[in-house]
Amino acid sequence: MPDHLLKKYRAMRDFGVTSEPSGGNPKGTKLPIFVIQKHHASHLHYDFRLEMEGVLKSWAVPKGPSYDPATKRLAMMTEDHPYDYASFEGVIPAGQYGGGNVIIWDNGTWELIEPGDDPVKALKSGKLAFRMYGKKMFGEWALVKIHGRGDGKGNEWLLLKHRDEFANADVDVTEVAPRSVVSDLTVEEIGASKRTWQSNRMSSGKAPTLADKLEEEKGSAKKNPAGPATKTKRAPSSRPARSAPARKKAASAPTRSSRAQSPPKAEPTPRRRPR
C-alpha cells in the first residue's frame, strides 16, 4: 500500500485538470521497473524513476543520462510518483504543477547491484549501484547522494555511468535517441498530437464511430433537398454534418477555445408573444 508515500504527489496536483495518474499498483514483474520521462516544463529535464516500495522513486536530471563515465549528471530527488506514472505521456496542462509536454524517453527493468539486496536501504544509505535493462539504458549505473553541501536541501544526487562494455564517451544518448519509446514522438510532437486529442474530446464529446461516419456520408451524398422522405433523412444527418468540420478544424488552438467556450447551440425559434 504505497498511499502514505504519495501524499506529497497528490497534494501538488489537481486530478480534475491534469490527466496524470493519481495512483496504481505494481504489476509484479520479476524485476522492478524503471521509466525515464523527458519533460518539457519551464525547463527541459529528464525524470528518472525507479520502482521501489510500490511507488516510483524520482529524480529530475536536467541534462539527462550520459554514457560517459567521466560525466556526472546532477539529479535532484523529487516526490515519489505512483506506479502508474510509468505509462504516462502527454501534456500536463499549463498552470498545473510541471505543466508541459512529457514523453516516455525510456523504460524497462532494473536490479540493484550494491550495496546489499534491499533497494530501500541502499537508497537511505545515499548510494545505489544498479543494472538497467531498457531500450536506451543498459549496463551499470549509480545514483550517489551529494553530501556536505551546506546550502543544499539534501536532495542533490549524481547520476553516473559505471565503466563497463556499454560505457561510451563519444555518443550522447539524448541526442541520438530523442524520441518516445512508446509513441515514437518527440517531446514537441506529443504536444501537438495530445492537444488535438483533447480538442476532439471538447468539440464532439466523443470519438466518431463508424456509424457516425456512415451517417455523415449518407448525409452529404443525399443533399438533394427535393428528394422524397426529406424529413426522415435529414434529421439524423444534420448532427454529424455539423460536428464533422469541428473535428477537422480541431488542430488549431483558436478554433478549439472558441468551440470550447461556445459550443454550437440550436437557436431557439423566436416566438412572438401575444400582446
Of 47 and 140, which CB lies nearer to Mn ion in the complex structure? 47
Region near Mn ion per CB under 5 A, out of 34-42, 88-96, 161-169, 202-210? 34-42
Of 47 and 89, which CB lies nearer to Mn ion in the complex structure? 47
3-class secondary structure, 150 = coil
Region near Mn ion per CB under 5 A, out of 35-43, 85-93, 145-153, 218-226? 35-43
What is the smallest separation between the CB atom of 202 and Mn ion, expressed in angstroms? Answer: 26
Locus of grid cell 422522405: 229
Draw the binding track, 46-75, toward Mn ion (x: CB under 5 A; -: no contact): -x----------------------------
Which residue, judged by CB position, is nearest to Mn ion in the bound state?
A: 39
Q: Which residues pair with 127 in a beta bridge?
A: 144
Identify residues 79-118 at the interface with Mn ion (CB under 5 A). none
Residue 39 as a binder of Mn ion (CB under 5 A): the answer is yes
Distance (Å, whole) CA 30 – CA 36 = 19
Closest residue by Cα to residue 110 from 57, 169, 164: 57
Of 76 and 146, which CB lies nearer to Mn ion in the complex structure? 76
Give the C-alpha distances (Å, rounded to integers) separating 159 from 61, 178, 256.
8, 19, 42
Distance (Å, whole) CA 227 – CA 195 = 41
Torsion 45-51-56-58 (CA) sign? negative
Residue 140 as a binder of Mn ion (CB under 5 A): the answer is no
User: Which residues lie near Mn ion (CB under 5 A)?
Assistant: 39, 47
